């Protein structure tokens, strides 16, 4: 592995996750608040599209595995999917002026096309890792580079999107989003072209794929994997609910002429806290506590942070950004630790499943993780849409006018939705784990030893 190859792979991750973050974070806001569609309708389409996208992943994997061209197996899909996705991304945020019914049809078609074209390039991108090298250390290095650079791409969008919307569009957010989408689309295409040119794959490599049936069959045979997967769904749903509501909170509740800058700063602090949780707090706590205890502690701290956020809002201190940073840091740092732990627990459940059923189904279990995270984001954004309509939030559809004033009841509902719903979800996770999860550190050591002993005995018998 050369530095050039690693750099090309990392650049590709930055570009593709800028696109994903822009779509995932701002589609609801753009079509509901800026263009005026029903939040429930927008949420429903987002949910349908993301669940369809999740189901589509393994089928795309099979299609890529069967591809044979002079340019390789992955790069033709990566290039084609990138160009198509960039065009659709621009179309998504450059919606023409249509009546409500026409805009609903336009949004439905374009967003589903966005999901399909993103899958076209995302599956080949990550599948290239085992194709470019057989060295375990190189594969681990590429995985770290890819995930880290993906985080950089998401952070860029969180930090700059609303600021650029204001700079490029002024008071006209519709025009601002159109310019931002164009800039991101161009960066995306350039990044993936560099990745395709400088990242060489091994055309003789083999690629294993899992069908949707395989994924669910492996999950249902493994009760501990099911507990972990359900927890991943719920934890991600809580985070998505918070992320989806917080932009409305800053625009209509926190308010102020500089609300976009305050929202950007809040998002940046949250992203930094999440990285801090994964890279600093988790290793420190893990030296003193078991994995299950760190998991429970993270859930309890997150619940306390949501309660603090609710208290700050209800007691009239929601206009203080420094105060809001306290629950923000706690919530996102805990989410970072929970992300690490659920990945670890899922890995341990593979060993458990092997001991229980005699089958080691690592690939299909981890494929299920991607599936359920996408499904969770779809459900969360649908609940966000329903919640916005229930509280009666009126979008700021006057493109050049002042920010629409909301009733006290609507603002109260927004505060409750932003805090109570995630708290309910995390309480369910806490109860589920305490009652159903059995893979403690000691139990995992026993399982590993039993598998090792059984494997040794089998080899001795064969001898």
Distance of CA 36 to the CA centre of its chain: 25
How high is the mean pLDDT of the chain? 84
pLDDT tens per residue, range 303-348: 999 999 999 999 988 888 999 999 999 999 998 888 888 877 877 8
Residue 115 shares a structural domain with residue 223: no
Confidence category of residue 3, pLDDT binned at 50, 70, 90: confident
434 is written with which tokens? 């305490």
Domain boundary among 171, 205, 239: 205
Q: What sign does the dihedral 418-247-19-40 (CA atoms) show?
A: positive
279 is written with which tokens? 């890279």
Measured CA distances, 41 to 47, 92, 244 (Å)? 10, 16, 15
The pLDDT assigned to 242 comes to: 87
Residue 171 shares a structural domain with residue 227: no
Detail the DSSP E strand segments found in 256-386: none
- Look at residue 283 and tell me if it is in a domain: yes
Confidence category of residue 412, pLDDT binned at 50, 70, 90: very high
Give, in degrees to the nearest 5, the angle at Cα 399 between 159 and 50.
55
pLDDT tens per residue, range 81-114: 999 999 999 999 999 999 999 999 999 999 999 9
Residue 246 shares a structural domain with residue 182: no
Domain boundary among 205, 231, 264: 205
Residue 115 shares a structural domain with residue 246: no
Which domain range does residue 93 map to? Answer: 1-205
| 303 close to 423: Cβ distance less than 8 angstroms | yes
- Look at residue 460 and tell me if it is in a domain: no
| 218 close to 356: Cβ distance less than 8 angstroms | no
Q: Could you tell me the CATH number of the domain that includes residue 37? A: 1.20.1250.20
- Look at residue 199 and tell me if it is in a domain: yes
Q: What is the dihedral of CA 395, 113, 14, 199, to 10 degrees?
A: 180
Confidence category of residue 425, pLDDT binned at 50, 70, 90: very high
| 158 close to 21: Cβ distance less than 8 angstroms | yes
Residue 75 shares a structural domain with residue 119: yes
- Look at residue 463 and tell me if it is in a domain: no
The tokens 């659709």 sit on which residue? 88
Lowest mean pLDDT among 14-18, 30-34, 214-218, 221-225: 214-218
Residue 373 shares a structural domain with residue 246: yes
The pLDDT assigned to 95 comes to: 94
**Residue 99: left if φ>0, alpha if ψ -120 to 50, beta else—which one?**
beta
Helix 291-314 vs helix 408-436: crossing angle, to nearest 10 = 170
Lowest mean pLDDT among 63-72, 211-220, 305-314, 430-439: 211-220
The pLDDT assigned to 51 comes to: 82
The pLDDT assigned to 271 comes to: 82
**Domains in the chain, number:** 2
Residue 250 shares a structural domain with residue 128: no
């Amino acid at each position: 592995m050369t530095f050039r190859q690693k750099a090309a792979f990392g650049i590709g991750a930055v570009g593709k996750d800028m696109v994903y973050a822009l779509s995932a974070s701002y589609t609801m806001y753009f079509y509901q608040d800026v263009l005026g569609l029903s939040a429930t309708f927008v949420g429903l389409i987002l949910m349908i599209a993301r669940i369809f996208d999740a189901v589509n992943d393994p089928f795309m994997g099979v299609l890529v595995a069967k591809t044979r061209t002079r340019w390789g197996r992955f790069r033709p899909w990566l290039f084609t999917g990138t160009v198509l996705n960039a065009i659709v991304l621009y179309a998504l945020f450059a919606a023409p002026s249509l009546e409500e019914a026409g805009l609903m049809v336009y949004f439905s078609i374009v967003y589903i096309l966005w999901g399909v074209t993103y899958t076209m390039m995302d599956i080949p991108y990550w599948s290239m890792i085992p194709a470019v090298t057989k060295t375990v250390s190189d594969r681990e290095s590429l995985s770290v580079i890819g995930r880290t650079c993906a985080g950089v791409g998401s952070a860029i969008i969180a930090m700059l999107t609303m600021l650029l919307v204001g700079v490029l569009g002024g008071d006209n957010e519709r025009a601002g989003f159109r310019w931002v989408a164009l800039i991101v689309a161009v960066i995306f295409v350039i990044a993936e072209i560099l990745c395709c040119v400088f990242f060489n794959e091994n055309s003789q490599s083999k690629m294993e794929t899992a069908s949707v049936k395989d994924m669910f069959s492996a999950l249902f045979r493994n009760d501990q994997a099911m507990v972990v997967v359900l927890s991943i769904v719920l934890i991600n749903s809580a985070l998505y609910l918070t992320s989806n509501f917080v932009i409305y909170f800053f625009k209509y509740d926190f308010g102020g002429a500089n609300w976009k800058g305050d929202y950007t700063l809040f998002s940046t602090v949250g992203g930094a806290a999440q990285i801090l949780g994964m890279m600093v707090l988790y290793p420190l706590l893990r030296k003193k506590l078991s994995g299950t205890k760190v998991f429970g502690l993270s859930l309890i701290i997150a619940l306390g942070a949501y309660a603090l956020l609710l208290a700050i809002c209800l007691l009239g201190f929601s206009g203080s950004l420094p105060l809001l940073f306290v629950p923000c840091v706690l919530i996102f740092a805990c989410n970072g630790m929970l992300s690490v732990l659920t990945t670890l627990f899922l890995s341990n459940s593979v060993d458990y499943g092997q001991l229980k059923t005699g089958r080691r189904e690592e690939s299909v279990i981890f494929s299920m993780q991607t599936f359920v995270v996408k499904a969770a984001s779809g459900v969360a954004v649908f609940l966000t849409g329903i919640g916005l309509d229930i509280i009666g939030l009126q979008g700021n559809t006057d493109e050049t006018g002042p920010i629409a004033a909301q009733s006290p009841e609507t603002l109260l509902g927004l505060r409750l939705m932003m805090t109570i719903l995630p708290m309910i979800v995390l309480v369910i996770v806490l109860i589920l784990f305490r009652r159903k999860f059995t893979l403690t550190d000691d139990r995992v050591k026993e399982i590993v030893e039993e598998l090792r002993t059984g494997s040794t005995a089998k080899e001795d018998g064969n001898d």
